[in-house]
Amino acid sequence: MNHMETPALQPIVPAYHVEILTADQRAQLQAATLKILEDVGVHCPSEKALQIYAEHGARVDFSRHIVRLDPELTLGAMSYAPRFYTMGARHPDFDLRLDGKALYCATDGCGVETIDLSTRRRRPSIKEDVAMGARLADNLPEIGFYWPIVSAQDHRSTAPLHELEASFNNTVKHIQSETVMGEPSARYAIEMARVIAGDERSLRGRPPLSLLVCCIAPLAQDKEGMESALAFAEAGLPVGFMSMANAASTAPATLAGALVTGDAEIVAAMVLIQMAYPGAPVFHSLLPGIMHPHTGAYLGSAWEGTILYAIGVELAHLWGVPTLAGIFGTDALAPGWQSAGDAASSLLLIALAGAETGSGLGLLESCTLFYPEEMLLDADIYQRVRYEAAGLDTSQEALALDVIQAVGPRGHFLRHPHTRTYLRQRAFSNLSGQPAPGGDYQDPADVARIKAEWICANHRPLPLEASQQAELKKILDAADKELGSSHSSSLDRRGVD
């Protein structure tokens, strides 16, 4: 089958900005983070990481795996972190230049269930879903880069690497993994990225792969995550750290306290990377939640919840690094009022706060359920925000005084050439406002489902070269052998309902 063009990216380029924190508040938050790192420290159960911290002057308690960082050490290490860099793509037209002017969004990722497009039934996620999500993402100009949207649960312990293969084979865009954990897996993933980049210089200059590692609140690191991050950073691939500190359970019940707990976790990890590989591209991702008092659950969409994500953007910039902001995650069980309400407002605030990257479109049920049409519904909201944040043309042509004069009171503008020219340029949703037989409009969710089916059936991005495909396969085979994974035949498309 011939491949189809991947539409050019449409990042959000806001004409306006808001500052949520005052300069005093930013200084207070930063001072609190420094104080936590100095006095309380962070738990890091990796000998390798502890050695690096110790060699660079951190106070390390090797028996308890606690690292304490003096403020000078933290600020000194962070001074090496680049503020701007490029996240490369398989195709250079889709490289993301993180320059502080544009916001690029990814899909959501690492879901565990999928609504099967053909059966409409819910089942555990499989590698083929990752490939389908990649094709959808490839076709949508709103998606700047791809998080493997679900877990390739049919591939067990090498699932993260299979997710990368499915992704690289089905989109020309940048891939960011949030599942490659541990040094051995990381080495295979880096090899795969090297195959895509072609050479060492491209791998470092335009890395087609990046990694996001979650911290453990409060104030702890994951051994596998940190060792994977160190391997990625050594290869020049961007690594980011995400904290999901939950106010009242894994963080203080006050917003400021939750923010600094999460910030300290992220900064401690970024400091490690800068100590080991000064100048390595890192990013900051602070997504604190608020605990539901009755269930203990993490809530990202409480009334006050979203502002925390936007403040996370400002804190990243305070440390001089780009951010991956939290967007779109909804607790809704199906596309509807809740999923839309949760998505729209958070995205605008984050764009106005100046985020460089954000996740993620396409998942429901607290980022666990892949609903293919949700990616299109989210993309529609993305476009609303993109236009909302753009400026206004007040040129003479746009003011159209001569046209208004020609039409005059009580007239209409339908026949005027100015209308014919410019009505075509107005952007309408391709989901809502779609006429249905009988004069009504179709349900946007139905339109989205049909479009998702069409894209999945028809969109075939530029394929990887055959030699690259073969090389990825070889790497996967080696990984399967070394890491002991085999295909899980119990999870196929029919799966478990």
User: Based on CB atoms, which residue is closest to another protein, 17 or 481?
Assistant: 17
Provide, rounded to whole angstroms, the least separation between the CB of residue 306 and another protein: 6
Which strands, in side-by-side order, build the sheet including 369-370?
122-124, 113-115, 369-370, 363-364
Provide, rounded to whole angstroms, the least separation between the CB of residue 415 and another protein: 10
User: Based on CB atoms, which residue is closest to another protein, 156 or 292?
Assistant: 292
Report the candidate in 116, 224, 216 with the shortest Cα–Cα distance to residue 177. Answer: 224
User: Based on CB atoms, which residue is closest to another protein, 227 or 314?
Assistant: 314
User: Based on CB atoms, which residue is closest to another protein, 176 or 346?
Assistant: 346
- 256 vs 292: CA distance, rounded Å: 18
- 308 vs 338: CA distance, rounded Å: 19
The owner of tokens 């529609």 is 380
User: Based on CB atoms, which residue is closest to another protein, 62 or 387?
Assistant: 387
In terms of C-beta density within 10 A (0-12 exposed, 13-18 middle, 19 or more buried), how is residue 430 classed?
middle
In sequence order, what DSSP letters do the residues of 14-49 get, joined into one string? -S-----S-HHHHHHHHHHHHHIIIII-EE---HHH
User: Based on CB atoms, which residue is closest to another protein, 224 or 380?
Assistant: 380
How far from each other are the two terminal CA atoms of the chain, in whole angstroms? 32
Cβ–Cβ under 8 Å, residues 43 and 220 = yes
DSSP 321: S
Provide, rounded to whole angstroms, the least separation between the CB of residue 281 and another protein: 26
Provide, rounded to whole angstroms, the least separation between the CB of residue 260 and another protein: 6
- 287 vs 141: CA distance, rounded Å: 25
Provide, rounded to whole angstroms, the least separation between the CB of residue 330 and another protein: 8
Provide, rounded to whole angstroms, the least separation between the CB of residue 212 and another protein: 21
Q: For 141-186, list the strands marked E by DSSP.
A: 143-146, 174-177
User: Based on CB atoms, which residue is closest to another protein, 115 or 340?
Assistant: 340
Q: How many CB atoms lie within 10 A of CB 17?
A: 10
Provide, rounded to whole angstroms, the least separation between the CB of residue 446 and another protein: 11
